[in-house]
Amino acid sequence: MLPLVFTVLVLYSCFLTSGSCDLYDELKELKTEFDINLYQRLAEPENRTNLIVAPASVSISLGLLQFGARGNTFMQLENALGYNIHDPKVQDFLHTGYEEVTNSSQGPVVQLACALFVQAGVHLSPDFIEHTALWANSSLQKINFSEPNSTAAQINEWVTGNTEGGEADCIHLDTVGSPLTQMAVVSTMYFKSTWQKKFSFTDTQSLPFTTAEGVTLKVPTMYHMAEVNYGQFHTASLERFSVAELPYLGETVSMFVVLPSDRRTSLTQIESHLSAKIITVWANSLKRMKMDIFLPSYGAIKKISNSYLQSRQTFSLFPKACQYRDKQESYHL
């Protein structure tokens, strides 16, 4: 039995398991690479704070937009996602993956939803409307962006209805107040689960936690003894670190927790090492081991807008005008 204190939560990753052919393996790798790239881009300015990102909610939105995009907008979306959403095999893979994650009867509760709010009077092609109705629990709603109060209220009501009564004030007036706006894409991901082996509240205690600045604080720390998948690895520049996989109920979804072996090794040095292939190596190399698990209680709230994504050069998807099929004019998104 090895004592191990996990001090940093790095990445939550949900793996799609549908299919075994080369195409599905390639698509799984593309999705994981997108997830990691998004996380790394957003983490760059946030390396002193907690950050929790749900890449699935972003990729669902971009996939929906790709159905109706054309020209340069379509190319940017395809480059960002790594696939063409019009490919029937791609659609089959994504639909199967979303259904497997969201329809689990005994595992975590995962709800993905996406809504396209369109200015009343804007014409959309029947083909695009059909795709919207079938795409990953998506919906199309008419709205009047010239009335920011009612617009924000309508969008917030939709968010609350798709997150089990979650945050009801996520959209603010300054977000929807532009008179040029004709479309708004909003997506949600709701996740709720218990651990496969629960942490007992009675075992939670205040223990030392060393921050990135080297300051030691006392924080509430959960504890239990369990058999988990565990391994030790190193980066190309030989920074060593440990990885433990903590499964949620049903073991269809799990959390990878990463801990640098040397306290002098910064988390960013490990994060820059991440890739889809590296995570596959982790998943295939971890061994069952019984150990003491200490995990700080954690939480994070971070709102990231499309302008923030653009400023971080995650991808250039939000010019003043986006091109969509079957229309001569472009739309402000």
Give the CATH number of the domain where residue 227 resides.
2.30.39.10
Q: Is residue 205 part of a domain?
A: yes
310 φ, ψ (degrees, to nearest 5): -65, -40
- 295: pLDDT strictly greater than 50: yes
**147 and 255 inside one domain:** no
- 143: pLDDT strictly greater than 50: yes
Q: With contact defined as beta carbons under 8 Å apart, do 283 and 215 qualify?
A: no
Separation of alpha carbons 248 and 277, rounded Å: 23
The residue whose two tokens read 């993956």 is: 97
Average of per-residue pLDDT values in the chain: 79
3 state SS of 297: coil
**184 and 227 inside one domain:** no
**171 and 215 inside one domain:** no
Separation of alpha carbons 57 and 7, rounded Å: 27
Q: Which of 325, 328, 332, 329 is nearest to 131 (CA)?
A: 325
pLDDT band at 324 (very low <50, low <70, confident <90, very high): low
Q: How far is CA 202 from the centre of its chain?
A: 31
- 15: pLDDT strictly greater than 80: no
Q: pLDDT tens-digit profile of 35-83?
A: 998 888 887 765 567 778 888 889 999 999 999 888 888 999 999 899 9
- 183: pLDDT strictly greater than 70: yes
**CA end-to-end distance (rounded Å), the chain:** 54
Domains contained in the chain, number: 2
3 state SS of 214: coil
- 126: pLDDT strictly greater than 60: yes
Q: Which CATH number fits the domain that encloses residue 35?
A: 3.30.497.10
Q: How far is CA 178 from the centre of its chain?
A: 27
**65 and 187 inside one domain:** yes
**9 and 127 inside one domain:** no
Is residue 64 within a helix (H) or strand (E), and if so which, with residue range? helix 55-68
**189 and 262 inside one domain:** no
Separation of alpha carbons 64 and 89, rounded Å: 16
Per-residue 3-state assignment (H helix, E strand, C coil) for 241-289: EEEEEEEECCCCCEEEEEEECCCCCCHHHHHCCCCHHHHHHHHHHCEEE
Q: Which of 324, 243, 330, 331 is nearest to 67 (CA)?
A: 324
**189 and 53 inside one domain:** yes
Separation of alpha carbons 174 and 152, rounded Å: 9
Q: What is the pTM of this model?
A: 0.78
Q: Which residues sit opposite 230 in a β-bridge?
A: 244, 287
Q: Which residues sit opposite 207 in a β-bridge?
A: 219
Separation of alpha carbons 152 and 176, rounded Å: 7
**160 and 207 inside one domain:** no
Q: Is residue 209 part of a domain?
A: yes
Q: With contact defined as beta carbons under 8 Å apart, do 297 and 204 qualify?
A: yes
Structural domain of 69:
22-193+300-311
The pLDDT value given to residue 93: 87
Mean pLDDT value across residues 279-298: 91
**152 and 183 inside one domain:** yes
**58 and 177 inside one domain:** yes
